[in-house]
Amino acid sequence: KQQELYSSFHETLTLLKIWCLQRGFLRGNDTFQTMDLTLLVLYLYQTKKIGKRMDCVQAFVIVLKFIVDTDWFGDAHISHSKDAAAAGGVGKDTIRHSKSEAYSSSSSEDDHYKLKKDVLIMPSSLTDQSSHRRFCHQAQLYESNYKENVTKENETDNAPKTLIECYKQYTPSTTPIFLDPTMSYNYFGRLSKSFMKELVQEAKKGLHCCVGDHDKGNESGGGPNSPFHQLFLQHGRFWRRYDAYVKVSLKDIAFPSRSNSAIWGKDTHDYGLYESLSRGMIHVLTRALGDRVHSIRMLTTGNGETDAANYNSNGDDSDRVHLLDSDQRITIPIRGGEVSNDEDDHNIATMTSSPVRLTSSLDNNNNDIIIIGLKIDPESCHRIVDRGPPADDALISESFLSLWGKDKAQLRRFKDGAIVHAVLWNDTNTSVGVEGADVVKLDGDEKLGGVVERIVRHIVNLHFTGGSDRQSSPTQFELGDILSLVESVSIPKESAPSSSVFTDSTKLHRNIMDAFTSLSNFLRQKSSSARNENGEEVRTNPLGLPLSIDNVEPLSPCLRYCEIFPPVPHPLLLGGGNVGRQDKISGVIASNPILIQIRFGLSSKWPVNDVEAMGAAKCAMLVQLANGIQKMKQKGGGGVDFSGPINVTSSYMDLGYKGYSWRILVRADQELKTLASLRNPSKQDVALYKTLSKRHVKSVKHHSTIHAVHTRHPSAGYAVRLAKRWLASHMISSDVLPSEAVELIIASLYSDGHGNEDNTKLSSSSPLGVPATPIAGFLRFLHLLSTYDFAREPLVVDPHGHIDASERSRIQTQFESTRGQDFDKGPAMYLISPNDRDNHDGDINDDNGEVTVGMNTGGLIAGRGRPSQMASVWAPTYTQIHPERVILSRAAALARQSYRHLMSCLSVGGDWKAVFRESTSSLRSYSALLRVDKSLILDPNCSCAGGDLSINQNKGKGGIEVPESPFTRGMRQRYLGPKSLRRKVYKNLSTSDEVLYDWQPVEHLVACLRQKFGSYAVFFYNNLAPDVIAMLWRPSTFVTQPFSAMNSNYKRPVMDEWQSDSLVVTNPDDIMREIHHLSRNVVVDILVLDDKSDKSNKNSTSSLKRKAA
């Protein structure tokens, strides 16, 4: 009947159900039921908030706006007072706000306010909400009872005069109220405050998507940035929504006595043991964490996964999982009832499937746990001080102490003179590096959610388990140990071993940045013209350069927090051969040189219209710079920080400064202008222009973009390093999948919104938001890489909102033109950032359909004689050539397997280390394997076959056992270098000039093999531990070809079925013999898995194996 009255009612309800299902807000415990949504929509229709003539989209927006505007818990005025205090005022709830400390009330809001929340009353068919008292017998009875009992003495009391005022004022502040027409039944009575708060947050983002500024997205399109996709297609349920997950065993819970002093558990009679525990834990954690988290949610029936995760962890569908009744079955009886553990029992609410297969053995271990998801606020999660209320407020002080415990909350005096109880979270209060049983603290975890983890652990131990001694497993973030691959264990200085110099990756990166700043200042100051006593300019400068260095620009990943193993100062490059007390040190530097470039000021001294002469001038500048530094070192003026040899090539210069190895390029803008002004450029000129533009211009912009993202989001740098570590463990090196592309993909995950969930200026309606922990960022990287349709959609990365809607439309048009109708042309990964916009060169199609590249001069395409058809050209910079389609498809398949395995470890449990290892079946899928000499492998722990990824014990000072992460072990192995190249150093002899830069024999071998045989095979290797070089034949390698004397290398005659156009075919034996010869000093064995040699000449491969052995 209602559907006939309101034409869009059914469509509106359908949109709401899809929106809720994608976020885990429907058909589950502590979520909406379909009837709840139906009643809510009906209420809005009957109260005329939704008009009869509105379509379903308009009605959907009205519903979201109503959810946001309704004061469900009467705390709107509380948020206003907090906002005023945050703006600089000092209110009742605030003593002091700073980045490191803040006031924590830690008491129930009901103790401070007489909350008056909004109460919804469903109008009956005879009346509306405004006149319910005339028709509601319950309301009439309450008013008559009030009039009978009121007297002149108590008439001025705050007692509510009407039933609706009674509901507003005296119902629990944790329950939303939506009453039926009789005002005796609450439709929303079973919904918790945590659910409603998260519902409001998601409604805000959805509202922003519908009516906000859409300059970032494709409003009318169906791509991943479109509002339709983000509202109704993007999956954001429990296991993908949160930044961290905590498991607590129900067997460890100590239920409190039902006394007034208990901080939770008073509502057991109302909700039952399990629900009381669930709501009590969320309530206490919310009070303790405060603004450090946006939301806290518990895994319950209905808010788990519903997508294709119901496959086994191997990724195939041969073992399809039966849909279970619930995501987490309740094992504590409610009010004395019994709950069966049988998988086929349907006593619990049924709606979704578990994300992984729950076998009987796993069920016994995981059905008795509580799983909590936390969405962390990266802006405030690192705060380490919680200040208590004023000392004269005894009631609130007692509440503060009851929350934190008297042992944790201690009296402290602050700089402003206040003496209050406070809680500190920067102490470990345990043994070396360990906070509790099997819990390890990593360096720099305060900005990565470490404070939140410690608070959760403290609260759970204090109020729910009765102490860590009673716990079967420690309370900690799930999968948190993965971070040990890129970070060290935090160890006190008094117990730190000698390898402590390799700890704290963030500090290592900042040390390199400080050295870069010092080198930049030196080059700019010493290249500027000097002045005499009279102030007259002297032509020569200390370095003897004809031009002054205008700027020094960073290019290296270690200058933007992206290096897995950042370099540390080498003893031989610290100046004067100062190597300390070490007996033997490495004679080589195995890390990549720190890449920077210098820019000279504008001058007419550069060669004009001669590219070759300009290249020679750049080389001459490097030679003069090297000579100037050498002279300053000899004179001892300003060059004491330089040490080691200075090697100059035609394109770069290597040198040592403050212990680091640097590679300096020269950027000459005049060279780019000369190439861009050519009227008829050759292919070589075009290729040179693109190379120089990418190396000198776009790389600087890319560095600036990524550095800004990582500075704003500290976890982004860790996520990039984890992603690179994962790719390396699967033999996908940075030269087949550029590291810049990985950095941009991670940046896209952190470009989903710039404000927190309470900010009105939300930049996206995505239910996921911005990751706040490295593990969340890494998981989303794997999910994006495995699910994104790179063939049909460009991935646009815009961290700072520089690409508007018109430019996005232009990108989509150019992408479709490049891909073609079959979506099989152009780059395999079409990755666009704001730095890829180019107004000076572009690709256009000539009359024959071929792509012609030209450089724009004066609005004309050179050689074309017609205006450019596009105001700007968008084309990928770093993914134009790499990755190839075979590399991208392999990476996507590996990401899919890894993501499923990690989700299995997250929800059910398991060993995450398998994600960072190559399986035996994966190694057998290659055509050949080249085993590298073990003496050339610096860090076997990074091996893709069997590296040690555990946190082991190492001896510190005084023989104390301290934990050591895989990151620290890898840093130490790289610092020591290969054993055969370690040398003994004497105090009186300087050997700094004998250091070998860029010692990477395996990398140089792979580059040689790719250059020579890249058209025949694809080569894979782990650049962190290159113990194996894998080789995979290309499908086109063994296609028969016509004979040509110019292309007769590595060919043999076809042995059968000769044809006029297919007389020869590639001879794999010749290629393998050539590979064996080139790699004779690096490779010790070759294993051929896919033998493509001639059947009549099998002995050749066997002899090759014997020679290699």
The pLDDT of residue 1009: 95
Which residues contact residue 617 at a Cβ distance below 8 angstroms, ignoring those fewer than 6 apart? 606, 607, 668
Secondary structure, 3-state, 143-187: HHHHHHHCCCCCCCCCCCCCHHHHHHHHCCCCCCCEECCCCCCEC
> Quick one: tokens of 90?
């000092």
List phi, psi (to 5°) of 200. Answer: -65, -40
Is 296:374 a contact under the CB 8 Å cutoff?
yes
CA distance 954 to 962: 5
> Quick one: tokens of 650?
């035609």
List phi, psi (to 5°) of 1062. Answer: -145, 80
Which residues contact residue 683 at a Cβ distance below 8 angstroms, ignoring those fewer than 6 apart? none
Alpha-carbon torsion (782, 786, 789, 790), positive or negative: positive
| Nearest by Cα to 450 from 506, 519, 371 | 506
CA distance 868 to 312: 53
The pLDDT of residue 251: 84
Residue 486 burial by Cβ neighbours in a 10 Å radius (0-12, 13-18, 19+): buried
Do the strands 410-413 and 419-424 form a parallel or antiparallel pair, or are they unpaired? antiparallel
Which residues contact residue 1043 at a Cβ distance below 8 angstroms, ignoring those fewer than 6 apart? 1051, 1063, 1064
The pLDDT of residue 535: 59
| Nearest by Cα to 45 from 11, 18, 19, 73 | 11
922's enclosing H/E stretch is: helix 920-924
The pLDDT of residue 1005: 95
Q: Give me the torsion for CA of 477, 482, 488, 492, rounded to 10°.
A: 20
DSSP 8-state assignment for residue 230: I
Q: C-alpha distances in angstroms, 76 versus 109, 139, 164, 206, 913?
A: 12, 26, 19, 20, 47
Is 196:73 a contact under the CB 8 Å cutoff?
yes
The pLDDT of residue 945: 84
**Full-model pTM:** 0.87
CA distance 465 to 251: 9
Q: Consecutive 10-residue runs of the chain (1109 residues): their mean pLDDT?
A: 69 93 87 93 91 90 94 68 41 45 56 66 68 70 78 63 79 83 89 92 88 50 74 87 91 72 77 85 92 89 56 43 38 38 35 31 53 92 88 83 89 84 73 52 87 93 77 84 92 65 88 95 86 62 88 95 93 60 78 94 82 91 93 78 90 93 93 86 89 93 95 94 96 94 95 45 62 95 94 92 88 92 92 82 37 39 37 85 93 95 89 92 92 92 88 75 89 90 72 79 94 94 94 91 85 78 87 94 93 63 46
How many Cα atoms are found within 13 Å in the side-chain-facing hemisphere of 788? 23
The pLDDT of residue 1032: 94
The 10 Å CB-count burial string (b at 16+, else e) for 968-1005 is bbbbbbbbebbeeebeebeeeeebbeebbbbbbbbbeb
SS3 374: strand
The pLDDT of residue 655: 92
DSSP 8-state assignment for residue 439: E
SS3 24: coil
| Nearest by Cα to 449 from 382, 386, 385, 504 | 382
**Residue reference for tokens 């890494």:** 778
| Nearest by Cα to 648 from 669, 631, 665, 672 | 665
SS3 304: coil
Helices assigned H by DSSP within 853-912: 885-907
The pLDDT of residue 639: 73
The pLDDT of residue 763: 41
SS3 1105: helix
> Quick one: tokens of 831?
């990755």
> Quick one: tokens of 937?
């492998």
SS3 1079: coil
CA distance 481 to 775: 9
The pLDDT of residue 804: 86
| Nearest by Cα to 816 from 878, 735, 750, 874 | 874
Q: C-alpha distances in angstroms, 914 versus 384, 418, 737?
A: 35, 52, 22
CA distance 289 to 200: 19
CA distance 180 to 177: 10
CA distance 62 to 798: 30
CA distance 250 to 252: 5
Is 453:244 a contact under the CB 8 Å cutoff?
yes
CA distance 892 to 783: 9
> In 542-688, at which residue ranges do the beta strands (DSSP E only) sit?
549-554, 584-586, 594-600, 647-648, 653-657, 660-667
The 10 Å CB-count burial string (b at 16+, else e) for 204-217 is bbbbbbbebebebb
CA distance 1019 to 1012: 11
How many Cα atoms are found within 13 Å in the side-chain-facing hemisphere of 1059? 8
Residues in the chain: 1109
> In 503-593, at which residue ranges do the beta strands (DSSP E only) sit?
549-554, 584-586
Q: Which long-range contacts (CB under 8 A, 24 or more apart) does 209-217 make?
A: 209/764, 209/765, 210/57, 210/60, 210/61, 210/64, 210/765, 211/61, 212/762, 214/805, 215/801, 215/804, 215/805, 216/763, 216/764, 216/798, 216/801, 216/803, 216/804, 216/805, 216/808, 217/805, 217/808
The pLDDT of residue 536: 62
CA distance 272 to 128: 36
The pLDDT of residue 575: 54
SS3 411: strand
Residue 201 burial by Cβ neighbours in a 10 Å radius (0-12, 13-18, 19+): buried
Is 969:941 a contact under the CB 8 Å cutoff?
yes
Is 526:575 a contact under the CB 8 Å cutoff?
no
| Nearest by Cα to 832 from 703, 732, 702 | 702
List phi, psi (to 5°) of 665. Answer: -105, 165
**Residue reference for tokens 């970070």:** 487
Do the strands 831-832 and 795-796 form a parallel or antiparallel pair, or are they unpaired? parallel
CA distance 123 to 138: 14
User: Amino acid identity, residue 31?
Assistant: T
